Amino acid sequence: MTADVRAAMLETLIEPLAAVGRAPADVPDDLDLLAEGVIDSFGLLELISSLEARYATVLDFSELPPGELTVVGPLTRHLAAQIEG
């Protein structure tokens, strides 16, 4: 599930990733999407909406430490756990 969520997340971010010279295959787990300029608040909202629609669920980030919110690895694992329920 984690790999599927990671792929879905990065697919959503193809354009903003390309804007900073990255492809989904080049994204390391420790990439901070916010610090790297891949997403801003709207990017995060769009990402959440996209994943919620894709997996027909409502995501909750209350247990994800704020510092990990926009870091690919922790975020992916958190999303996968949420989606698996």
Binding site for another protein (CB under 8 A): 34, 41-42, 44-46, 48-49, 52-53, 55-58, 61-62, 64, 66-67, 69-70
Q: Among residues 69 and 81, whose Cβ is nearest to another protein? A: 69
Minimum Å gap between C-beta 41 and another protein is: 6
Minimum Å gap between C-beta 70 and another protein is: 7
User: Nearest Cα to 12, choosing from 3, 24, 22, 25?
Assistant: 24
Number of H helices, E strands in the chain: 4, 0
Q: Among residues 24 and 32, whose Cβ is nearest to another protein? A: 32
Name every residue whose Cβ is closer than 8 Å to that of residue 70 and which is 6 or more positions away in sequence: 32, 33, 34, 35, 39, 44
